[in-house]
Amino acid sequence: MDDYADRLLTLVLSPGYTPLKLKALARRLEIADEERPQLRAAVRDLVRAGKVDVGRDKTIRLPDRRGLIPGTFRRSSRGFGFVKPDEANAGRGSIFIPLKGARDAATGDRVLVKLVRRGRRPGESDEGRVVRVESRGAGSFVGVYRERGGTGYVTVDGGLFRDPIPVGDPGAKGVKPEDKVVIELARYPTHEREGEGVIVEILGPRGAPGVDTLSVIRAFNLPDRFSDEALAEAREQARLFDEEQLDGRLDLRLTPTITIDPATARDFDDAISLDRDHNGYYNLAVHIADVSHFVPAGSPLDREARERGTSVYLPDVVIPMLPELISNNLASLQADRTRFTVSVFMEFNCDGVLTSRRFGRSAIKVDRRFSYEQVMEFFAHPETPPADLSAEIIGMLTLMRGLAARLRARRFTRGSLELTLPEVEIDLESGRVAGAHLAIQDESHQLIEEFMLAANEAVAAELHERQIAFIRRSHPDPDPFKLDDFAEFVRGLGLKLDLPQSRFELQRILSETKGQPEEYAVHFALLRSLKQARYTTEPEGHYALASDTYCHFTSPIRRYPDLTVHRQLVALLAGETPRLKLDQAAALAEHCTKTERRAQAAERDLVRIKLLTHLLDHVGDSFHAVVVGVEEFGLFCRLIELPVEGLVHITTLTEDYYYLEPGTHTLVGRRGGSRRRLGDRLIVRVARVDVDRRQLDLVLDEPAPQASRPGTIRKPATTESRPHPRLARPAHPKSRGPFKALPHPKKKKRRHR
């Protein structure tokens, strides 16, 4: 924003401002007559951005938001859309925006909405119209270039716009039809006029290796290059680093220390030391990479890390928050190297109760790097440990197993929830899907998880008690009405749940259904009833962990909130006043929540692109699936063999006429009373795949279900035994063979090439 806009906005926002016309504003701002055109242009820009309004009397004022609902807009491929209200109005649900009421809003835009009609029946959305677009969610878009009638057009990916965007004569760019390109919009489309764009980058031919990944990076505006200043500072930090200059740190290099990470890990945030004294007390030390030593606040490295907010883990590439010289070298806790850490020292009694905590900057030397698989192999055969393991390390692993079990038991005693939703991870060969495997979540993973949770809680409790501003990790309490809906749903499955607001009752339901046919339905339905975790400065607690005070501290290499918490704690240890103030922390928390969700959305989008591309060769093939969403227009189903969702449209359910029973997430047949509900396992057939629009159309490939009464659990309608997701695990964690699709009985399955 230029100087004129800054000065004008400062005046309008000042206390006691009275709306003024442009000429009076110019006098107040001491702007000469010859500069008035620039001021007029600044007013137009601010009005367009929704920051000021011009009244009927031509006075400039702040926008009147009375009666308007702020939220985020999402447009469908048919032009209409929905607005998800901000937190303060979240209880009203999404607001339907018809095509004519959407103005030029695009998916992701922040908008103000005026309600025009209330929902007439339960489950029906309110209807509104967009009054103003306050800020754009994206400045550029990715799509496929095509030509028609001598004019270039770009069909934007994901169905974000109903019609292709004209880009004029792009000959100077050398673009070819079917190229993936990045465009910027000079004019956003409405229902009355088409948009207008300009090509700013050519990514490569559609379908070429790596183009899908680059397309997602550009579509989500992920910064994939570090500035020259940041890289130069990283090199300078490497030059200055002297592992023998401990600068008053605790020297723990002779203390037995280990890391446990995935076999493919490249950066190591955390290490563990553990012993037990003669009184039976456990002394646990969690050592976290001291990234703050290499990334001074306000430096070029810090500015880049803050902007990114988090590392992004795409299926075939990692976009790190910090340059690899820092993340994979200087700060990474590599074995047999002196590394700087911030350590959390915790003492637990024999029951796993925390009896004391203290903190310190330290230097460690990791004695042994373990993979999760190696730890599980040791746990499976403790009597025959590897010959190169010392007695000290063997004893530590045994102690770790015992302490983690106690901490885990105590966590569930206080009401912590654990959803069993096994994730399927895709296997890639040369950037293309070769198969899939179930993500492992065994005892070795749980062990590290418990120690990291304990360290995070200890740091959060220390900062909270000292009344220091810090970024907390919050999981707000769920909406009671959604929990009531969940209770109604599980009662429909024949389960008893009288107090859905009780974590212990929810915990009981999760435990009772674990390993049962209805497990996925119940666990997934509860997940849909909970709110998303976020970063905040408010002491909201963490619902799923049953923790009153919690933060992220243990991954400063890849998460910016962790780095800020490190700085606050390190300042306390040095006897200094922490620099980060409450208002700064609040703004950073909101920013980091957005960057985290952007990273998650980018990963989901690229995984979907790769899976849909894979399924182009499997149209007509059948797969097992589970119902993960029920709407008036059909069933959203997730394939079990490959983790991708598709829609079984209600018009393809020809055996009956179905209506939605919202409370139980069920489509009910009007004639026969048959029921299709959340969590049902089905066999579906791939009917159509549209990669650019991210659409997968499925049809059922099984007989119609028999009518079932609420309160009875219906078995899957098939003569074959269907593998439950939890039972489809490879025989050994290292087994990564692809799942196979079920061949359609009337069609020979094509080979994927």
The tens digit of pLDDT for each residue in 230-274 reads 999 999 999 999 999 998 999 999 999 999 999 888 889 999 999
At residue 375, φ and ψ (nearest 5 deg) are -65, -45
Domain covering 3-61 in this structure, CATH number: 1.10.10
Whether pLDDT at 89 is above 70: no
Q: What is the mean pLDDT of the chain?
A: 87
Distance CA 19, CA 62 (A): 8
Strands, E assignment, 136-178: 140-148, 151-156, 165-168
pLDDT score recorded for residue 305: 97
Which of helix, strand or coil describes residue 731? coil
Tokens of 86: 């901000």
- Assign 14 a pLDDT band (cuts: 50, 70, 90): confident
**Mean pLDDT, residues 121-148:** 85
pLDDT score recorded for residue 8: 82
SS3 labels along 648-665:
EEHHHCCCCCEEEEHHHC
Give residue 149's identity as a one-letter amino acid code: G
Whether pLDDT at 390 is above 50: yes
- Assign 441 a pLDDT band (cuts: 50, 70, 90): confident
pLDDT score recorded for residue 704: 61
pLDDT score recorded for residue 88: 60
Per-residue pLDDT tens digits for 58-74:
888 877 777 788 899 99
Higher pLDDT, 472 or 76: 472
Higher pLDDT, 90 or 197: 197
Whether pLDDT at 722 is above 60: no
Q: Residue ranges of the domains in the chain?
A: 3-61, 69-135, 140-206, 228-463+545-600, 478-530, 619-727
Contact 715, 724 (CB under 8 A): no
Contact 528, 440 (CB under 8 A): no
**Mean pLDDT, residues 523-532:** 90
**Is the fold of 69-135 the same as that of 140-206?**
yes
- Assign 740 a pLDDT band (cuts: 50, 70, 90): very low
Domain covering 619-727 in this structure, CATH number: 2.40.50.140
Alpha-carbon separation of residue 463 from 358, 475, 554, 566 (angstroms): 12, 18, 15, 11
Provide the CATH topology of domain 69-135. OB fold (Dihydrolipoamide Acetyltransferase, E2P) (2.40.50)
Q: Longest Cα pair distance anywhere in the chain, in angstroms? A: 89
Selection from 694, 698, 724 nearest residue 604 by Cα: 694
Please identify, in words, the CATH class of the domain defined by 140-206: mainly beta
Give residue 523's identity as a one-letter amino acid code: H
pLDDT score recorded for residue 734: 34
**Mean pLDDT, residues 521-531:** 89
Whether pLDDT at 195 is above 50: yes
Contact 618, 435 (CB under 8 A): no
pLDDT score recorded for residue 463: 97
Whether pLDDT at 178 is above 90: yes
Report the residue count for the chain. 753
In this structure, of 78-82, 470-474, 604-608, the range with the lowest mean pLDDT score is 78-82
CA 101 to mean position of chain CA atoms: 30
Contacts of 461 (CB under 8 A, 6+ apart): 357, 549
Higher pLDDT, 137 or 460: 460
pLDDT score recorded for residue 707: 54
**Mean pLDDT, residues 442-471:** 96
Give residue 115's identity as a one-letter amino acid code: L
